[in-house]
Amino acid sequence: MQTENEIKEMVRQKYSEIALQDTGDNKASCCGSGGCSTEVYNIMTDDYTNLEGYNPDADLGLGCGLPTQFAKIKQGDTVIDLGSGAGNDCFIARKEAGETGTVIGIDFTPAMISLAKANAEKLAYTNVEFRQGDIENMPVASGIADVIVSNCVLNLVPNKDGVIKEIYRTLKPGGHFSISDIVLEGALPVHIQEAAEMYAGCVSGAIQRDVYLELIQTNGFENITIQKEKPIVVPDDILLKYLSPDELQSFRNGNSGIFSITVFAKKPLTEKNCCGPDCCN
């Protein structure tokens, strides 16, 4: 069993490789680095190209949804993007927040931060900044964000409860988030859960949908809504790296599955002050 630090270091190394790799190679891959399937263009990502603010240099094909499309960002908002990568969601958020808004991207991979800053410089954006840091301990003050977005990142983090607590801390009262992520229904085969490539490809770090939504609720959020959902079908030639043909057939015939969901939730305008079983923090 890997420790939290070992998992983080594995993910950091994987995404450093992706940041230094050609953008076209990333998009041609199912899990961001290295061509691992002949069946798909990318098994997770949605098409960003029709969204205003899209910049192809910042699109590494690593997402599993379009959270900025659902995030209800307004002119002048302060937006934080968790796991900002090369800046794709930040630049789209910047289009929504306008010249009077502020967008902060947070990523714990130095190579990604360098890539995002270079992309922002090319676009001459002065109200988009990128900070290196752990989203379990964000390098931002409490209560500064109107909106938080994230695209296929929380599933990579071992301490998901810690991240959700940080989201709550950094949102303003009445602020909200829209997060795309990978969740599970039923139990994945153990070989997939333990596979490092699948972890960096956003599958084996995922948790059960009900557990994911419960973490959000127990941390005090309200108006929890699934804005979008889609099944993730991992091609056979990927799964056969981890499963025998019989195990693959059993998985295909079973009730377990992998899904991308985009979840919206709001921080209450007023904090609950109590010490009973219904308290959130």
Contact assessment for residue 157 and residue 163, using Cβ atoms and an 8 Å cutoff: yes
pLDDT at 156 over 90: no
Structural domain includes residue 67? yes
Q: Which residues contact 61 (CB under 8 A, 6 or more apart)?
A: 23, 26, 27, 29, 32, 42, 45
Tokens describing residue 56:
């192809």
Structural domain includes residue 162? yes
Residue 180's φ and ψ, nearest 5 degrees, are: -95, 135
Number of structural domains (the chain) is 1
Structural domain includes residue 198? yes
Secondary structure element (H or E) that encloses residue 176, with its range = strand 171-185
Structural domain includes residue 93? yes
Residue 187's φ and ψ, nearest 5 degrees, are: -95, 125
Contact assessment for residue 135 and residue 106, using Cβ atoms and an 8 Å cutoff: yes
Give the range of the structural domain holding residue 95, as residue numbers without chain letter: 4-266
Contact assessment for residue 88 and residue 63, using Cβ atoms and an 8 Å cutoff: yes
Q: CA torsion, points 163, 193, 63, 13, in degrees to nearest 10?
A: 80
At residue 42 the predicted structure's pLDDT band, cuts being 50, 70 and 90, is low
- The CATH number of the domain where 113 resides is what? 3.40.50.150
Structural domain includes residue 279? no
For the segment 66-87, what is each residue's pLDDT rounded down to a tens digit?
999 999 999 999 999 999 999 9
For the segment 91-146, what is each residue's pLDDT rounded down to a tens digit?
999 999 999 999 999 999 999 999 999 999 999 999 999 999 999 999 999 999 99
Structural domain includes residue 281? no
Q: How far is CA 31 from CA 10, 25, 41, 102, 246, in A?
A: 14, 11, 10, 30, 24
pLDDT at 24 over 80: no
Contact assessment for residue 183 and residue 259, using Cβ atoms and an 8 Å cutoff: yes
Structural domain includes residue 271? no
How far, in whole angstroms, is CA 53 from its chain's centroid? 19
Structural domain includes residue 278? no
Mean pLDDT of the region 19-24:
56
